[in-house]
Amino acid sequence: MTKDVFPNDDEQVLRIFIVRHGQTDHNLKKILQGHLDIDINQTGEEQAEKVGELFSEFDIDEMVSSDLIRCRNTISKIIKYQSVRDPTAPLKVTPNLRERNMGIVQGMHISEALSKYGHDFKNLGETKDELITRVENEWNNIISRNENHKNVIICTHGGVITGFVNHLYSYRNYKLNVNLHPHDLKVPFNTSVSTIDINKTNGEGIIQTFGNTNHLGGQFEVKDQLLR
């Protein structure tokens, strides 16, 4: 069962909502993106509008986005709704939240990458450890500067979300909500929302939701898990 997405009102908890960017034409055509700066398409615009509406009644203390345009244009829809409530709601844009650099396979159709390099094509650019290190540095900074806040939104990429949330679960001992299982932590759908709570006193984390798409009218999943 998918747990719904709610704002946090507990002063002792920092809730971080992780949003994947809206759909791009490269997503649709199964072309590997990595660091390529590909914008969201019309479907992505509509998805971003819906996730913006979802957060319209939430008091968001900070928003942080990958600097790639597919994330910036997704979070701009959230900002549009937030600005009605608080025109000063801060946004930070950072390359630390970029998708994994895919090296020479960026721009290739996934079938071509598999044909030429096999499943190891994912490791021809940035290593998994390099990705986790830069994302973890940003994650720790977000937590430290929001010690007096309750709700933060991050907009990033499918590979980042999958790799880093699995890292939080497997290596930083973040717990899973009873509605979640380890096999649920896979590449999430465009504009899905994953929710993580951090206890401000002891630093313990709980992954409350993963890949929630109820704001899109149902629960949707990515069929091809190799796409990035």
- Rounded CA gap, 154 and 222, in Å? 20
149 labelled catalytic:
no
Q: What angle do CA 10, 13, 15 make, to 5 degrees?
A: 100
User: Which segments within the chain are labelled E, that is strand?
Assistant: 13-20, 62-66, 91-94, 151-156, 175-176, 193-199, 205-212
Of 197, 123, 189, 133, which Cα lies nearest the Cα of 162? Answer: 189
User: Choosing from 21, 149, 157, 167, which is the catalytic residue?
Assistant: 21
Q: For residue 72, give the H/E element and its range.
A: helix 69-85
How many helices (H) and strands (E) are present in the chain, helices listed first? Answer: 6, 7
Task: Say if residue 129 is exposed, middle or buried (CB neighbours under 10 Å; 0-12, 13-18, 19+).
Answer: exposed
99 labelled catalytic:
yes
User: Choosing from 26, 35, 49, 99, which is the catalytic residue?
Assistant: 99
3-class SS letters over 169-214: HHHCCCEECCCCCHHHCCCCCCCCEEEEEEECCCCCEEEEEEEECH
Q: What angle do CA 26, 27, 30 make, to 5 degrees?
A: 80
Residues with catalytic roles: 21, 99
